[in-house]
Amino acid sequence: MPMEMTNPSPAPAALRGALADGVDHWKPRVQALAREIHALKEISFEEVRSAQVIGALLEEAGFQVERGTSGLPTAFSASAGSGELTVALCVEYDALPDIGHACGHNLIAGASVAAALALLPLVDELGITLKAIGTPAEEHGGGKALMLERGAFDGVGLALMVHPVQDGVTYNPTGTSAQAVGRYQATFTGKAAHAAAAPHQGVNAADAAVLSQVAIGLLRQQIPSDHRVACFVAEAGHVTNIIPEKAVVQFECRAFTLPEYDALHQRVRNCFEGAALATGTTLIIEEAEPLYEPLLQDDALAAHWTDAMDAFGKDTSRSSGLSGGSTDMGNISQVIPSLHPWLSIPGADVPIHSHAFAALADTPGAYAVMFEAAVALAWTAAAAASTPTERDRFIKAAYRRRTFTQEGTS
């Protein structure tokens, strides 16, 4: 569980200065890297070039880079140092279909890579093992969930990353979260027939798709305001003179707690099952991606981050409440103390996942705050490693998880 910490102990001034200088040293290379990733626009599990160029830069700097981590071709794990405390910086680099980096993953990659490069010369002084872990397919596919399950985060004591959002969002991550999300495919199967000569002999799967959407639309009136359901029809016939025998609906459910998510998911499934019953079709619902779990912010790490952002003169007022959206970093945070704060792009008054936001993610203002975030990530990691009580907590948490995992597989 998150640990309350109201008076963080920042890293010593000399250490902070060295880390800031380290980020500054790598600025030209990292900004070029972030811009290249933005231009590549590689989607989930297809981030071949993005993973290559990030890994190459980390390797050049002195990291030992493992490619294809966890059996995922576009994942990697870059390691340095041998300290008892393992610090992981998560690197995202997948884009959205059609609209590119409309979630600013080029900035996520740049901030984590710059922080890792700044920390690299100080791993022995800090007594850490440093990992920059390339986690593909955050938008769709749950790369972190798969890598967590397959052991890529074994032994990690704390995990960090940052995520860009619109302008005007507080830099204080305490009390913020992200929703659980599950994504599914519903397939209705009916019976084809001539749409004019014998429509009564057909069973219309497209009708089932329409009815399911109507039922979900009506359900939205009776669900809590912070729950979300979204869907689209991926297939429902191909020509007008054939009664469609197959219809496919992709859908997702979101809620801030797993019990709420489970309840919502069942109610949405009922909408599909009712549509199948009404039309006489058969229904199969399959999981399309791993479940993304709710995000937990570690309070001690959040306090260090907030202290760092105070040094940059940012708004660090307490967040007014939870906001929407989901991340597979939630899966990491459920078992490893984690930090996933928000990075506010100056002048970004447009929604994420839009063409306009994708354009703003490749601007001088965006890169300026990306480097501030890199410094703050490095300071946060250094402060956590340098604070004896926190260091001990993170090491013990990693040991307990490793022991539990070994016992579970014995």
Are 160 and 187 within one domain? no
Q: Is residue 120, in this structure, part of any structural domain at all?
A: yes
Are 173 and 189 within one domain? no
Q: Is residue 202, in this structure, part of any structural domain at all?
A: yes
Q: Which two tokens stand for residue 100?
A: 């590119």
Are 270 and 138 within one domain? no
Q: Is residue 5, in this structure, part of any structural domain at all?
A: no
Burial code (b: 16+ CB inside 10 Å, e: under 16) for 226-251 equals: ebbbebebebbbeeeeebbbbbbbeb
Q: Is residue 276, in this structure, part of any structural domain at all?
A: yes
Q: Is residue 243, in this structure, part of any structural domain at all?
A: yes
What CA–CA distance (Å, rounded) separates 357 from 20? 28
Give the count of domains, the chain.
Answer: 2
Are 305 and 156 within one domain? yes
CATH number of the CATH domain containing 220? 3.30.70.360
Closest CA to 284 of 361, 371, 185, 387: 185
Asked whether 398 and 129 are in contact (CB, 8 A), the reply is: no
CA 68 to chain centroid: 19
Are 212 and 350 within one domain? no
Residue 208 domain boundaries = 180-289
First to last CA, the chain: 26
Closest CA to 305 of 232, 384, 247, 236: 384
CATH number of the CATH domain containing 16? 3.40.630.10
- Pick the last residue of a domain from 268, 289, 310: 289
- The single-letter code of the amino acid at 85 is L
Predicted pLDDT of residue 403: 72
Are 157 and 185 within one domain? no
Are 36 and 123 within one domain? yes
Are 167 and 236 within one domain? no
Are 121 and 230 within one domain? no
Predicted pLDDT of residue 3: 44
- Pick the last residue of a domain from 235, 262, 289: 289
SS3 state at 159: strand
Are 168 and 301 within one domain? yes
Predicted pLDDT of residue 297: 96
Q: Is residue 240, in this structure, part of any structural domain at all?
A: yes
SS3 state at 235: strand
Query: Would you give the DSSP letter of residue 177?
Result: -
Predicted pLDDT of residue 168: 87
Torsion angles phi and psi, residue 86, rounded to 5:
-100, 125
Q: Is residue 2, in this structure, part of any structural domain at all?
A: no
| pTM, to two decimals | 0.93
Are 140 and 254 within one domain? no
Q: From residue 76, give the alpha-carbon distance in Å to each of 135, 157, 168.
A: 7, 19, 34
- Pick the last residue of a domain from 233, 260, 289: 289
Strands 85-91 and 158-160, by their bridges, are parallel
Predicted pLDDT of residue 389: 96
Are 108 and 167 within one domain? yes
Q: Is residue 3, in this structure, part of any structural domain at all?
A: no
Query: Would you give the DSSP letter of residue 161?
Result: -
Per-residue pLDDT for the chain (410 aa), expressed as one digit of tens each?
444 444 667 778 899 999 999 999 999 999 999 999 999 999 999 999 999 999 999 999 999 999 999 999 999 999 999 999 999 999 999 999 999 999 999 999 999 999 999 999 999 999 999 999 999 999 999 999 999 999 999 999 999 999 999 998 889 999 899 999 999 999 999 999 999 999 999 999 999 999 999 999 999 999 999 999 999 999 999 999 999 999 999 999 999 999 999 999 999 999 999 999 999 999 999 999 999 999 999 999 999 999 999 999 999 998 876 677 999 999 999 999 999 999 999 999 999 999 999 999 999 999 999 999 999 999 999 999 999 999 999 999 999 887 766 655 54
